[in-house]
Amino acid sequence: MKNQRLLENLHLPLWIIKDTCWMLQVKWLAIAMIAPTIGMAIYIVYISRKSLLNFWPNLSVLCWISANAIWMLGEFLGFSFQLPSSVLFIIGLVGMGVYFIIYNRALGRFNKGDDRNNNNL
């Protein structure tokens, strides 16, 4: 769990660099940052797959970053990739909805609101 949290924190600078390059129109670096940013997100989803309370938010982040990258590429290349981006954004929202359903069930099951003791949720 600690390693996963470290990876999540290391992932944020990749995402910020990509978006900053997008904003500054440094296209080559923004495009180059897609692979490590999405790659790290995929790895985080993979290692969190055994804990539903970690998996669903991480899957939502992966969808969000992927949608964001597709949107960026569309702007850079002069195409409208609104539909694929929208689909990924919606999948991310659904993933967070699933997370909150699971989390609320966990709260009811533990009756204390502390789900940190059960990593298999």
Residue 109 has pLDDT above 70, yes or no: no
List pLDDT tens digits, range 37-65. Answer: 999 999 999 999 998 888 999 999 999 99
What secondary structure, in 3-state letters, does the chain show? CHHHHHHHHHHHHHHHHHHHHHHCCCHHHHHHCHHHHHHHHHHHHHHCCCCHHHHHHHHHHHHHHHHHHHHHHHHHHCCCCHHHHHHHHHHHHHHHHHHHHHHHHHHHHHCCCCCCCCCCC
Mean pLDDT value across the chain: 87
pTM: 0.80
Mean pLDDT of 76-81: 91
Mean pLDDT of 104-114: 65
pLDDT at 113 over 50: no
Phi-psi region of 82 (alpha: psi -120 to 50; beta: other; left: phi over 0): alpha
- Between 11-25, 64-78, 79-93, 101-115, the lowest mean confidence (pLDDT) is in 101-115
> Could you tell me if residue 114 is left (phi over 0), alpha (psi between -120 and 50 degrees) or otherwise beta?
beta
